[in-house]
Structure 1
Amino acid sequence: MEQVDVAVIGGGQSGLATAHALRRQGLEPVILEASEQASGSWPRYYDSLTLFSPAGHSSLPGLPFGGDPDRYPHRDEVVAYLLRYADRLDAEVRTGARVQGVSAAHGIFTLTLESGDRISARGVVAASGTFGRPYRPSLPGLEDFAGTVLHAAEYRTPRPFAGLGVPPAGGWGRVVIVGAGNSAVQIAAELAADARVTLAARHPVRFTRQRVLGRDLHRWLKATGIDTLPVGRFLRTPPTQPVFDDGHYRAAVAAGAPDVRPMFSGIGGTKVTWADGSTEEVDTILLATGYRPDLGYLRPLGALDADGHPRHREGVSTTHPALAYVGLEWQRSLSSNSLRGVGRDAARVAGRLAARLRAH
């Protein structure tokens, strides 16, 4: 069986930042990436996605994003940046290496890959992020809805997917988007040019100004230290993220394109029943309801709770001292699972993991 120093599971922004930090600690990580390129979930996001943090605040350690630091990079720019980062990284990146399970005995981890290969490692960092497992909430009647149900992870463009029936061949028609976060609002505003769209949410949409006193909000979050506050461990239920807006989305909602309503109370056939008792025909329900950690490969370790969430403290496992996490939402700070913050968490976790391995 092949033996490695530290196995980093996931080759997106979290895994790349972690490998960089581990190398600085004198360790030799091997990145195991399930897909065919080291760019994480970014290639699978919708076509029009842009970062809500500017390029100057969206770099991983050791390589500036490049270009105008005040611009908001497009999805494809992020993919290109991550591939460039991986090429320059002084660590081995193995693509097409999906980890199916991790076990441990006598202080050594054994990773079983989908290919059947097995690898032993002194340490493991789960850096597969929080975007690999789309969250589909249990909504009344949703399983019997006769129209089209999509998750935001499956959405790419307002243009109908010709011949696939998703969305319906005649167009999007009447659309209800479940959610009130950045993706929900961005997709809703985009679709509203081609369809009648409603945002349905349990909580009102909260907008926050993208620029304050002429500077991007993230500049102030960094300058005040708010971006790095270790608040994650105090939040049993992380708050709903505000929608970063330059005024465009707030104006679209004010104009009713999309409109916003409280969550519907039921679904029957192709009809949605709203909280006020009214019903209407709906063609498509799109779930912009976020994601959950994609960590099923750790179940053999007993490292997860009943809901599949890791048992950890600021990224260090509380069940296995040489197991760590990077890229979890609210892992330590409000920027833990973002390009702008994942490097800080990676450095902390790498330092603690290196100390553990040196001591044993």
Structure 2
Amino acid sequence: MTRRTDVVVIGGGQAGLAAGYHLRRLGIEHVILDAEAAPGGAWQHTWDSLRLFSPAQYSSLPGRLMPSQPGELYPDAAHVIGYLTDYEKRYELPVQRGVWVSAVHRDGAFLRVATDCGDWRARAVISATGTWTRPFLPAVPGRREFAGRQLHTLQYQNPREFDGQRVIVVGGGNSGAQIAADLAGRAEVTWVTQRPPRYLADDIDGRALFDHATARRRALDEGRRDTGGVASLGDIVAIPPVRAARDAGLLTARPMLSRLTATGAQWADGATAEADVVIWCTGFRPALAPFAALRLRGTRGHIATVGTRAVDEPRLHLLGYGDWTGPASATLIGVGRPARDAAREIAGLLRA
């Protein structure tokens, strides 16, 4: 069975909900297809101690402030899931869950979205699939030789299962720092980073990062000098648990290892470390497999965009993947503006 609507939004996490909010405000018929069984997007799969980088009032989707979490300045994942669940209900967003999108094809004046529950034909598609389903593992020599356990950020839950073990945490970003801090005191942690850790000033949180990313985007759009964006400030937001571990001397990073061995790691200077576990906090890539048939990807795997609109397929918008689809668009506070812009562009397309 093939159904028809004006817009199909693929993904029901924070970016998909922000898109739905703005489409609904413009009176555009749409459906949000989500592979998850419950609301909350990727927040359902994070580790137990994860906290937002910003207070609740600076971590909101358009139209509704996130309420504060009692006793917590920086809300946890469960609080975010509750907020997203309420948001979806409050705005009666048309989310269909448990729907897996396999491909998007051109079909004359439409885009055809193939799913395991039948096809949809739409005048436009918004991709809000995120990155959580595409963990990145670097091609480190010896990775297949290591006899211990290896897992990625998305598989980490809490430090209890690593009590007393020797754990190598690889990655100098927020997830690497947070997980290394989480494990400190319960496991023997070796933290490995590509370059020395760069902490943002302790008083900087997600709101400041959003403002900085927006200022950079504005400067580039106006032809002014590149300010460097968020990366110029540092790599790690010093949220309280990370700050405490750092100040206690528990977050001393070693340079990037040169290879894994059967029993641990080795560095270029010949130094070694034994390990039971390696946790790869090495990031993610955009989950864009459903768009392979459109042949839009460039050499780095990204789809070229102007704002959120795909350059070579103007009926497709990409939302929530980071600065290349809108300043700080992978964050709760940052996704609202590009979602609004995408909805307005689509409204113009539908009127044409």
Matched, 1:178 2:170: yes
- Deviation sequence 1:242-273 (CA, Å, 0-9, x none): 21115653552454423310011112211311
CA distance in 1, matches of 2:205, 2:98: 38
Deviation at 1:236, TM superposition (A): 11
CA distance in 2, matches of 1:106, 1:220: 44
Query: Which aligned pairs between 1:159-238 and structure 2 lie closer than 5 A?
Result: 159-160=160-161, 171=163, 173-211=165-203, 217-220=205-208, 225-229=211-215, 231=217
Work out whether residues 135 and 292 of structure 1, in 8 Å CA contact, stay in contact via their aligned partners in 2: yes
Q: 1:186 to 1:340 in 2, by over 3 A?
A: same
**Aligned residue in 2 for 1:302:** 295
Query: Which aligned pairs between 1:13-52 and structure 2 lie closer than 5 A?
Result: 13-52=14-53
**Aligned residue in 2 for 1:131:** 132
CA distance in 1, matches of 2:147, 2:157: 22
Work out whether residues 196 and 258 of structure 1, in 8 Å CA contact, stay in contact via their aligned partners in 2: no
Deviation at 1:354, TM superposition (A): 1.4
Deviation at 1:208, TM superposition (A): 1.2
Which segment drifts farther, 301-310 or 256-265?
A: 301-310
CA distance in 1, matches of 2:228, 2:158: 35
Deviation at 1:172, TM superposition (A): 5.6
SS in 2 for 1:300: helix
- Deviation sequence 1:84-103 (CA, Å, 0-9, x none): 11111243110001101110
CA distance in 1, matches of 2:95, 2:202: 36
Deviation at 1:205, TM superposition (A): 0.8
**Aligned residue in 2 for 1:284:** 277
Q: 1:68 to 1:346 in 2, by over 3 A?
A: same
Give 2:306's aligned amino acid.
Answer: R
Which segment drifts farther, 308-317 or 149-158?
A: 308-317
Query: Which aligned pairs between 1:81-100 and structure 2 lie closer than 5 A?
Result: 81-100=83-102
Work out whether residues 14 and 342 of structure 1, in 8 Å CA contact, stay in contact via their aligned partners in 2: yes
- Count of equivalent residues: 343
Work out whether residues 101 and 115 of structure 2, in 8 Å CA contact, stay in contact via their aligned partners in 1: yes
Q: 1:268 to 1:55 in 2, by over 3 A?
A: same
Work out whether residues 51 and 74 of structure 2, in 8 Å CA contact, stay in contact via their aligned partners in 1: yes
Which segment drifts farther, 185-194 or 328-337?
A: 328-337
CA distance in 1, matches of 2:4, 2:188: 56
Percent identity at matched positions?
Answer: 37
Q: 1:335 to 1:84 in 2, by over 3 A?
A: same
Give 1:177's aligned amino acid.
Answer: V
Which segment drifts farther, 124-133 or 247-256?
A: 247-256
CA distance in 2, matches of 1:313, 1:229: 17
Work out whether residues 69 and 75 of structure 2, in 8 Å CA contact, stay in contact via their aligned partners in 1: no
SS in 1 for 2:154: helix
CA distance in 1, matches of 2:23, 2:281: 34
SS in 2 for 1:43: helix
CA distance in 2, matches of 1:105, 1:324: 17
Q: TM-score, normalised by structure 2?
A: 0.90
Which segment drifts farther, 122-131 or 73-82?
A: 122-131
**Aligned residue in 2 for 1:323:** 316
Which segment drifts farther, 173-182 or 329-338?
A: 329-338
Give 1:53's aligned amino acid.
Answer: S
Deviation at 1:276, TM superposition (A): 2.0
Q: 1:187 to 1:218 in 2, by over 3 A?
A: closer
Work out whether residues 172 and 283 of structure 1, in 8 Å CA contact, stay in contact via their aligned partners in 2: no
Q: 1:133 to 1:238 in 2, by over 3 A?
A: farther
- Deviation sequence 1:150-198 (CA, Å, 0-9, x none): 10100001111xxxxxx6xxx4611111101111111101111211112
Q: 1:247 to 1:3 in 2, by over 3 A?
A: closer
Work out whether residues 173 and 284 of structure 1, in 8 Å CA contact, stay in contact via their aligned partners in 2: yes
- Unmatched tracts of structure 2, length 5 or more: none
Give 2:143's aligned amino acid.
Answer: L
SS in 1 for 2:273: strand
Deviation at 1:23, TM superposition (A): 1.6
Q: TM-score, normalised by structure 1?
A: 0.88
Q: 1:208 to 1:98 in 2, by over 3 A?
A: same
**Aligned residue in 2 for 1:353:** 346
Work out whether residues 207 and 250 of structure 1, in 8 Å CA contact, stay in contact via their aligned partners in 2: no
Query: Which aligned pairs between 1:104-115 and structure 2 lie closer than 5 A?
Result: 104-115=106-117
Backbone CA RMSD of aligned residues: 2.4
**Aligned residue in 2 for 1:79:** 81
Give 1:209's aligned amino acid.
Answer: A
CA distance in 1, matches of 2:103, 2:164: 40
